[in-house]
Amino acid sequence: MDRDFDTVEKVARLGQAGVGRRIVAQMRAYWEGLRAGRDVPARADIDPRGLENALEYAFILERVAPGMGRFRLAGMHLNDLMGMEIRGMPLTAMFTPEGRKRVADATEAVFQGPAIAELVLTAEAGIGKPPMTARLLLLPMTSDMGDVTRILGCLVGEGQGIGRTPRRFLVDAAHVQPITPCASTAPLPAPVRPEAFGLGKRLPHLNTPKTPTLAPAPAARTPRRPDPGGAAAAAAGLGDDARGTPGDVPGGEVRSPQEKGPASPPGLFF
């Protein structure tokens, strides 16, 4: 049964022309950022802070049967369109009987592909129901078990107001796009060698690695022992024969150790 709503209050919550494309693009970019080299991101990766401007249009579906996804979370915009809390309801509840088959096929393609689906919708007309169009985006996600049984999506209505609820939709067009593997998973091209540009002959140093050259080590020096006697003799102009040996006395006399006494003053002989 239809419910009456104040359309003046609901106009502010209904997307104006161009808002649907902006919200869809933002949701798609957020999902692409979550992939991080994977084909499909995980449900656990979703952070509501990344969808701050699109939360009221966003939802998460859980696959409960072939072609059927149930709302686990839904923004206020979807509740306003239906005039009730839609959590736990199937996505097909927002469509007319004529549109349910097409949206069910698109939902199953997202789960099985996996793939991305974008649908253009038109609201069912009636008394107290102004013209309205909408855009629907379905993006696959994996559950905690690793299987593709979740969908991150958004639905944005555009028009003069919501009017009497519930507002259900027909499918004007549906586009299903298979998932493209992330570019980071593709192998990198092999590096190009200089020979491919004819640089090998002109720049031979690019092909032949340089061998480091070690500087020769300095020759080791043998320390000289000090010779005080020799230095004194050299200073006096005497040779090695005039240096004498321990125990000798001037004049050529050799004294025994017992005869040796205190050193004589210079110029005295015993």
Q: pLDDT tens, 98-118? A: 999 999 999 999 999 999 999
Q: pLDDT tens, 66-98? A: 999 999 999 999 999 999 999 999 999 999 999
Model confidence band, residue 52 (pLDDT cutoffs 50, 70, 90)? confident
Main-chain phi, psi angles of 132, to 5 degrees: -155, 140
Alpha-carbon distance of 203 to 157, in angstroms, equals 65
- Kindly state the DSSP code that residue 49 receives in the 8-state scheme: G
Strand (E) or helix (H) holding 229: helix 228-236
Strand (E) or helix (H) holding 154: strand 150-159
Alpha-carbon distance of 25 to 20, in angstroms, equals 9
